[in-house]
Structure 1
Amino acid sequence: MDRLQFFSPVRISRGQGQPVEDIEGVNEAMAFLRKWPKGRRGPVYQCALNCCAAALAGRMSAEEARKGFTGFARITRLLDDDMALPIGGKNTDSVYAPRR
């Protein structure tokens, strides 16, 4: 397995009736972030971008970068509903989600 590959993909949904996109690793996440509109690049975007850049440089694991990217996707409401709560109902993907 490639060190930049996620253990499980981040599923992105752009809305009802639109195809779901699986982001399977740091390189795909970085490509997605580079296409993000400049006017919508706030602190959450910057955090996700920094996490992916750190993973590419070997200063962070792919799974840590995945958490940053997943947080970005959740806050921008792009995270597919199927990913909102992993199996078992316990949200372990993001530091942005409240713990139960």
Structure 2
Amino acid sequence: MDRLQFFSPVRISHGQGQPVEDIEGVNEAMAFLRKWPRGRRGPVYQCALNCCAAALAGQMSAEEARKAFAGFARITRLLDDDMTLPIGSEKMDSVYSPRR
């Protein structure tokens, strides 16, 4: 496995009815971040960009960069709903719904 590959992809949702994009490694995450609109590049964007750059330089693991990129995707509301839960778990609304 490539050292810059994520163990599991970050799934980006571009909206309901749109195809989901799987970001599978640091290089793809960097390409995605470089396309991000300049006017929306805040501190969370900068953190994700810095972490991906550090992973490319061998100063950080791909998984640490993945966490930063996934955080950016979550905060910008691009993270696919299925990515918010650990693999094999139920949907959050069913987990936290009061039982009657």
TM range (shorter): 0.7 to 0.9
Match of 2:73 in 1: 73
Which deviations, in whole Å up to 9, do the C-alpha atoms of 1:10-57 show, x marking residues without a partner?
Answer: 000010011000000000000000000000000000000000000000
For 1:40 and 1:14, locate their aligned partners in 2 and report how far apart those are by CA, in whole Å.
16
SS in 2 for 1:68: helix
Percent identical among aligned pairs is 92
Match of 2:7 in 1: 7
Higher CA-based Rg: 2
SS in 1 for 2:58: coil
Matched, 1:24 2:24: yes
RMSD of aligned C-alpha atoms?
A: 0.8
1:17 partner letter: G
For 1:26 and 1:38, locate their aligned partners in 2 and report how far apart those are by CA, in whole Å.
20
For 1:4 and 1:68, locate their aligned partners in 2 and report how far apart those are by CA, in whole Å.
14
1:87 Cα offset (Å): 2.6
1:86 Cα offset (Å): 1.2
Aligned residues: 89
Matched, 1:57 2:62: no
Match of 1:94 in 2: none
For 1:44 and 1:88, locate their aligned partners in 2 and report how far apart those are by CA, in whole Å.
28
* Alignment TM-score, normalising by the size of structure 2: 0.87
Where do 4+ consecutive residues of structure 1 move more than 3 Å? Answer: none
* Alignment TM-score, normalising by the size of structure 1: 0.87
For 1:2 and 1:79, locate their aligned partners in 2 and report how far apart those are by CA, in whole Å.
24
Match of 1:97 in 2: none
Q: Which has the higher helix share?
A: 2
